[in-house]
Structure 1
Amino acid sequence: MFFDDEDERFLNPEILHVVHRELYAITSNLEISHYGLRNVPTHTEDGIPIRKLYVSNLPPKTTRTELFNVFAQYGFIKSCWLRMGDKGPNKTPTPTYAFVTFSNPADAHKALQAPNHEKMLRGRNLRISPADSWHQPAEDADGRVCWKPRSLPRSHDIEDSSPASDNIDSQGGPSVESSLDNEANSSNENTNIEEATPETEYTYNILDILNRDCMTHILTFIPIKDLIRSERVSKTWQNMIQEYLQSIRTFKTSWWVHEQSRLTTAVLRRVLQRLGASLLRLHIDHQLSALNDRTAHTIGKFCPNLEELKVVGMYTKNWNPLLYGCKQLKNLSFVSCNKLTDSSLVHLMKNDSCIETLTVANNTHVTGLFLTGSDTPRMHSLSFYNCYSLQGTVLCAAIDTLPNLTTLKLDVCPIAMWKIIPMILKKVPKLEELSLSEYTSTECISPHSNDAFCEALAQMRDLKILNLSRNIYINNAVLKQISQTCTKLESLNISSCNSIRNFSSPGVGDEGVRAICGACVSLQTLDVSYLASLTDAGLCAAARLPRLHRLVTRGSDALSSAPLAQMLRACHHLQEVDACGCDNVCEGVVEAAVDALEQRPRTLLLRLAGTAAARDYHVHDQEYPKHKLLTVNMDEDLSNPNLRPDFVDQMFDYSSDDSLDDLYDHDLYEDFEDFLGPGEWQDDELILDPDDDDLDGLYAYGIHAANIILL
């Protein structure tokens, strides 16, 4: 090409060199041609093997870890260096270019030859080209690589050198032309000089090799206390720990407490300062209570995004400050909080409260007054478990302020609550989940005691989950009413509903189970454990449930393998059968399960511990048919022998008149006097007299002398 003299003076050779390298970076990323491979050099012009690659066209906010992950697929990376832009108080540093150094030149060659779509980062095609000879690691005569960067020329050497010189000095330093080229690249934010300085050269470590998800999973096994203490190791480790702590969404204080140490409010405040901003669920479930009334203020201040809070075994009274800090709190649970009262929760139930679920368990002070006078339209779940002071009349009046209630759990409540439950249920006909378990007192049993309860159940047509376990008031009449009304029922638990055979009131039997299985065709979970009146004839009706997933029938001595085998063949979605403690269940269940899986493949779990099949398996070493989708558990017995219908308490035997004679033997107490010394055993009131008239009153209340001695 011909240039005039006037045009030649405007041509800068440095700019041409920069343009030449950028054009080479673009063309080197072209895809493989159909007529052959593109020409990718393996050595520089000076014959140095190419190990270091120059990367440009980086997207904003690129990190070294992301760049490392792009090139790690081609080979072992020695170092990965990223050049950031100008930094300042009003500037956001952005990556401009990077250098990736491979240990093996062949790996760098593979990275250059790789197709363009493999070298994409955040939607951008990275421009890859070999670094110049000056930045390539040098090799000695023996072929050993010198990974340390070469020494830079002094500034006055660069200024005094001629731009036309093309030779490299005898000390191994860069030529004048390459130094000028680097200065030109620095003005275009594509310089290579800064990367060569010893202060900015960075060699990757184990934190760069591990995937971010893998590293996060490893950190979950380290206690939070140890992670915070280890932040002083290095700046890189501190940044990674802080990034991990900010990614935690669930924190339990039991993860912090180790070796019987106490967790104080001051320590909790420091922990929440680091990870409270990102927490969504917080469980205060430590063993040793050492938190004071400032705990609620601490949580409200440092956990603004908290959605779930569970407090276990704390003696703090005031929890109202949560309302001012945790504006997004939805689920609130208090378990075994003895000092929790109605005044502790009254402000949390205001009109602007966002609480949707409230649970109070094992409490002796809450009466339900905190719900009266409040209007919380967002609350849809209310649960009370083992609350002795809960008043049914107060709760019945408070239900009017909860129009959107869909879940109600009143378990192990005072016996007077059962008389109020029908009135409560009539006010919440839209319930989807109801739990009324652990009602075992006989004070309210009468011929017409369940009429009001059945009348209230007649309005609950949206009920899906029902728990009536260990409820002595449930009988066949109640189950018939449920079958007529609750046709959408998906889960039913009627275990231990009057499991004692010699009890005066009849419990659940075959008639009630057949009614449920015939009408509630949407049932997916059914628990009929410890029912004295349930036989094979009643359980066979469960084979008519097409959507049944889980069946639990523990501790039923009257059941055999026939109904279970019938259900395995008929219920094609059945995935778990729990028959622990059923003495008459034999190996026929396993054979039926294998045949059912051959016809309808699915994962199936059989729990047969405590059955005849388990005894034959352990004693006679009998082998049962196997299937790759079948799991048979013969060892873990989940049944409770105290709930079985045939359970007999043999701790004290009152059949013999002489069984308590030793308790009234005065000679026995004389031996104690000799052992303790004179004057130590002179209290005659401690000695029970069998002829004393006061014992007759104790026997009337069912309290025996043996029980008194043990207490």
Structure 2
Amino acid sequence: MYFDEEDILHVVRRELFTLRSNLEATPYGLRSVPTHTEDGIPIRKLYVSNLPPKTTRAELFGVFAPYGFIKSCWLRKGDKGSSKNSPIPTYAFVTFSNPADAHKALQAPSHEKNLRGRNLRISPADSWHQPVEDADGRVRWKPRGPKSDRPTSRDSNNSHSEEAVDTNSSEVPQETTEIVAETSTSETEIETVQETAEEEQGYNILDILNRDCLTHILTYIPLRDLIISERVSKAWQSMVQEYLAGIRVFKTSWWQHVPETLTTAVLRRVLQRVGGSLTRLHIDHPWSALNDRTAHTVGKFCPDLEEFKVVGMHTKNWNPLIYGCKQLRSLSFVSCNKLTDSSLVHLVKSDSCIESLMVANNTHVTGLFLTGSNPPKLNSLSFYNCYNLQGTVLCAAIDTLPNLTTLKLDVCPATMWKIIPLILQKLPQLEDLSLSEYTSVEISFATQSNEAFCESLATLTELKTLNLSRNIHITNDVMKQVAQSCPKLESLNISSCNSRKQFPHTGVSDEGVMAICGSCMCLRRLDVSYLAALSDDGVCAAHVLPHLTELTARGNPALTAESVARCIASCHFLKEVDVCGCDGVSEALVEAARRALERRPRALVLRLAGTAAAALQSEFPTHKMLTVNVVDDRSNPNLRPDFVDRIFEDSSDDSLDELYDHDDFDDFFGQDDELFLDDELDDYEAIYAYGLHAPGVILL
């Protein structure tokens, strides 16, 4: 290939300017950057070289976007050379809408125009590459001259890597024109149109937003719509596939906007796309029609699954799950009516990797599946509202669970409370214990001794989290034992422990709360809501806790702002105070919180909905780190100690008198013929139309 002397001078001149422009200053002063080409055309298009391999348009856009609005950003990658083994160097053209922005980009120091450790070489593009500006100020962005006069990409590569880089050129060397004439017309036009389209294509949202922003936006788009939209373009398809490959959590409840019923076939197609990368899967769709093949589908397409939760499914066999998901750590079954002990026995066998198991709202599981299983890694066991759970069976199974550190027996049968002390004596390593919602009236009025329960608590020296909410068996003696035996306690919930004043024993009072606050110095979260015998003295005892971050005392009528204000002033790590429903808390608490934050700045949230302060509807003293919420009332009026159930009052006995005063019931209920089915329902087809089954209909 031969070049004219003038062509070589153009290349040398441009490279010299590139080297000179990357210097911060010349020996004789600041360097001067031209604003127009030699032909007087404003410089809008810049030639960029020395790019690192695999440079993307988004990266190039990010380097030049700070200097002004970019009209187009065209990147030429070295993959179209005559030899695949020796690709041509990578270069690019960046076109600014305003010449002043291009001038700023040229004047910018070299360290700002750096990409992946390389200093980019920036120079103005040749005059025939620059967009033409008419006399009236209009800019012609499209290529000038006929398509046949512009060189193709193949000719540009053969001639020179920097001379014929833009398809906008109207001045083509004679040698290049001869080669173009030798090629076929159809092939030349196709390549020219493709390269022109690439150059003139402006940037889109994929170039402006980074991957983190795009990923956050795509989380609001239904998964089915994303899969359908892949056909838009190759760039969008690549981005969607990259997003789907990065999904780690998927919940089928995200399909609630879809009126269709979720079937196993639909779930299979979804998991084929995203199952390979999932670590958490929740099947909690409200209108699901999943069959027994669901476990096979999850086990096949989700090999790296670590957490699996099922809600409201009627599937018995879950054995394929453990064979396919070798990394499964957590299992949760909620409202699965057909789940039995035989369904769980293979999930917790001796070689199982399950670490956490939770069963809720079930009437078939008895705990027999744990007997003899001896799972080595099971450390968390939770049962909630399992009416058929047998305490004796569970107590025998505890012997095979040496690593159990979390035990939750909430809303269990009333007879379970007698077995709980025997269970706790076998688990001295417990760190998390939950025994909430034991509210059986029959047991509450019987004389119960908590000596056995207190003796079992004496062995729990490693306990860090304790939940005893709504438990009528919790008294001050229990709290004193917890304070004596659990020095590592960090979270305590004793809300609504005997919140009714008519109970035979008062439950937890100021004495029990003071014992806890005086001994458990590691306490971070404390909930003393709905306690009938709690006063300001009990809440004020929390001011000695050095690590307290959350204090909750909802629905306590005797509580005032003075005790809570003292806790805010003394507990320097306190971040949230919830006293919703406390009538005696006034606006003085907000002023005390403001003064405390001035001495010890920190972010603090006050929840005062349902208090005297919220009823005033006045402006509170403000602080930039203080948030006062008087709208979101989180208290439950039915749990308040002074709650009165007015449904069974004497005044309500006459509420139905007006109904029985009617002599003619037809005026109230309607005519008799409207209450019975038509004669046409004698045949079975009409009966089935009304949703009735013929064998269940009894004719009187």
Report the TM-score when normalising by structure 2: 0.83
Pairing partner for 2:647 from 627, 646, 651:
651
Distance between the aligned counterparts of 1:670 and 1:479, measured in 2? 62
SS at match of 1:349: coil
2:625 is aligned to 629
Q: Corresponding residue for 1:187?
A: none
Residues 228-627 of structure 1 aligned to structure 2 (within 5 Å): 228-443=227-442, 449-615=449-615, 617-618=616-617, 624-627=620-623
Shift of 1:475: 0.6
> Which moves more between the two structures, 381-390 or 551-560?
551-560
Say which SS state the counterpart of residue 274 (structure 2) adopts: helix
Q: 1:591 to 1:519 in 2, by over 3 A?
A: same
Distance 1:66 1:674, change over 3 A: closer
Q: Secondary structure at the match of 1:382?
A: strand
Q: Deviations over 1:264-290 (max 9, x none)?
A: 222222222222222222222211121
**Is the CA contact 1:17–1:181 (under 8 Å) kept in the aligned structure 2?**
no
Aligned 1:187-202 pairs, distance under 5 A: 197-202=195-200
Q: Distance in 1 between matches of 2:125 and 2:176?
A: 12
**Pairing 1:97–2:91 present:** yes
Alignment of 1:153-192 (within 5 A): 153=149, 172-176=170-174
- Corresponding residue number in structure 2 for 1:692: none
CA distance in 1, matches of 2:652, 2:253: 52
Which whole-Å deviations, capped at 9, do the CAs of 1:516-572 have from their partners, x for residues lacking one?
111111211111111112223333222222222222112222333332233233222
Deviates more, 1:50-59 or 1:485-494: 50-59
Give the 3 Å change call, closer, same or farther, for CA 281–290 of structure 1 in structure 2: same
Distance 1:86 1:315, change over 3 A: same
Cα shift readout 1:448-507 (whole Å, capped 9, x = no counterpart): 632121111111111111100001111111111000011111111111111111212341
Preserved contact between residue 151 and residue 176 of structure 2 (Cα < 8 Å):
no
Assess, with a 3 A threshold, how the Cα gap between structure 1 residues 502 and 115 changes in structure 2: closer, same or farther: same
Change (3 A) 1:485 1:180: farther
1:49 maps to 42
Distance 1:393 1:423, change over 3 A: same
What CA distance in whole angstroms lies between the structure 1 residues aligned with 2:418 and 2:88?
Answer: 71
Q: What TM-score do the two structures reach when normalised by structure 1?
A: 0.82
User: Is it true that 1:135 corresponds to 2:129 in the alignment?
Assistant: yes
User: What is the CA–CA distance in structure 2 between the aligned matches of 1:228 and 1:95, rounded to whole Å?
Assistant: 36
- Spell out the pairing of 1:214-229 with structure 2 (5 A cutoff): 214-229=213-228
Q: Is the 8 A contact 1:284 1:311 kept in 2?
A: yes
Q: 1:143 offset after TM fit, Å?
A: 5.1
Aligned-partner Cα distance in 1 for 2:383–2:402: 18
Distance 1:532 1:36, change over 3 A: same
Question: In the TM superposition, what is the alpha-carbon distance from 1:338 to its structure 2 partner?
Answer: 1.4
Task: Determine helix, strand or coil for the equivalent of 1:54.
Answer: strand
- The amino acid across from 2:648 in the alignment is F
Change (3 A) 1:341 1:33: farther
Please give the per-residue CA displacement for 1:136-177, whole angstroms capped at 9, x wherever unaligned.
334455554332335354889989xx99xx9xxxx9432337
Call closer, same or farther: CA 1:603–1:143 in 2, change over 3 Å: closer
Matches of 1:255 and 1:272 in 2, distance apart?
A: 14
Deviations 1:592-632 (A, max 9, x none): 223322322223222223333333x04xxx55444333333
**Which moves more between the two structures, 559-568 or 194-203?**
194-203
What is the CA deviation profile of residues 569-600 of structure 1, one whole-angstrom value per residue up to 9, with x for unaligned ones? 32222222222222233333233223322322
Deviation track 1:628-666 (CA, whole Å, cap 9, x = no partner) reads: 333333333222121122222221246999999999999
Q: 2:50–2:91: 8 Å Cα contact kept in structure 1?
A: yes
- Judge conservation of contact 1:351–1:376 (CA < 8 Å) in 2: yes
Residues in 2 aligned to 1:472 and 1:534: alpha-carbon distance in whole angstroms? 15
Structure 1 390/128 Cα, relative in aligned 2: closer, same or farther at 3 Å?
same
SS in 2 for 1:201: helix
Distance 1:340 1:599 in 2: 57
Contact 1:60–1:94 (CA under 8 A) maintained in structure 2: no
Unaligned runs of 5+ in 2: 164-168, 181-190, 677-700
Moved more, 68-77 or 14-23: 14-23
Tell me, yes or no, if structure 1 residue 146 matches structure 2 residue 140. yes
Which amino acid letter does the alignment assign opposite residue 576 of structure 2?
Answer: E
Is the 8 Å Cα contact of residues 14 and 180 (structure 1) preserved in structure 2?
no
